[in-house]
Structure 1
Amino acid sequence: MLGPLTPRSRFIEVFLKAFAQTNRPRCASTSRQPEHIRTFISENTEVVGKQSLTPEIKLRLFTPTCRFWRERPELWPFDDPYWAIYWPGGQALSRYLLDNPAVCRSKTVLDLGSGCGASAIAATLCGAAHVVANDIDTVAAVATHMNCELNGLQPPVCLSHNMIGSPPKGFDLILLGDMFYDEALATSLHSWLDHCIRTHGTKVLIGDPGRAQFEEHRIRRLLRQLAQFELPESVREENYGLTCSSVWCYHPELSGP
Structure 2
Amino acid sequence: MWPLRGLGGLRAVRRNLRPRGQNRYTGFARFGSEESVTQFILENTEVVSGNSLTPEIQLRLFTPNCKFWYERPELWPLADPFWAVYWPGGQALARYLLDTPGAAKGRKVLDVGSGCGASAIAAKLSGSADVLVNDVDPAAAIACKLNCALNGLEPFRSETENLIGSELKGWDLILLGDMFYEEALADSLHTWLQSCIQAHGTQVLIGDPGRAHLENHRIRKHLHQLAEYELPPGVRKENFGLTSSSVWHFQPEL
TM-score with structure 2 setting the length: 0.91
Which whole-Å CA distance do the structure 2 matches of 1:20 and 1:121 have between them? 24
1:127 aligns with 2:121: no
Corresponding position of 2:110? 110
**CA-to-aligned-CA distance 1:215-242 (integer Å, 9 cap, x gap):** 0000000000000000011111222231
Q: CA deviation at 1:82?
A: 0.5
In the TM superposition, 1:3-42 aligns within 5 A as 9-11=3-5, 14-17=8-11, 26-29=26-29, 32-42=32-42
Q: Say whether the 8 Å CA contact 2:7–2:69 is kept in structure 1.
A: no
Q: Say whether the 8 Å CA contact 2:8–2:73 is kept in structure 1.
A: no
Letter of the aligned partner of 1:16 in structure 2?
A: L
**RMSD, aligned CA:** 2.0
Q: Say whether the 8 Å CA contact 2:105–2:127 is kept in structure 1.
A: yes
Corresponding position of 1:174? 174
Q: CA deviation at 1:100?
A: 0.3
**CA-to-aligned-CA distance 1:80-122 (integer Å, 9 cap, x gap):** 1000000000000000000000110010000000000000100
Which whole-Å CA distance do the structure 2 matches of 1:29 and 1:69 have between them? 23
Q: CA deviation at 1:10?
A: 2.5
Unaligned ranges ≥5, structure 2:
16-24
Tell me, what secondary structure is at the counterpart of 1:89?
helix
TM-score with structure 1 setting the length: 0.90
Q: CA deviation at 1:15?
A: 3.1
Change (3 A) 1:37 1:31: closer
Tell me, what secondary structure is at the counterpart of 1:253?
coil
Once the two structures are aligned, what percentage of the paired residues are identical?
60
Change (3 A) 1:121 1:42: same
Which whole-Å CA distance do the structure 2 matches of 1:251 and 1:18 have between them? 32
Q: Which runs of 4+ in 1 moved over 4 A?
A: 18-21
Unaligned ranges ≥5, structure 1:
1-7
Aligned residue pair count: 244
Corresponding position of 1:195? 195
Corresponding position of 1:147? 147
Q: CA deviation at 1:32?
A: 2.4
**CA-to-aligned-CA distance 1:184-233 (integer Å, 9 cap, x gap):** 10010001001110111000000000011110000000000000000011
Tell me, what secondary structure is at the counterpart of 1:28?
helix
Q: Say whether the 8 Å CA contact 1:30–1:138 is kept in structure 2.
A: no
In the TM superposition, 1:1-257 aligns within 5 A as 9-11=3-5, 14-17=8-11, 26-29=26-29, 32-254=32-254
Tell me, what secondary structure is at the counterpart of 1:197?
helix
Tell me, what secondary structure is at the counterpart of 2:27?
coil
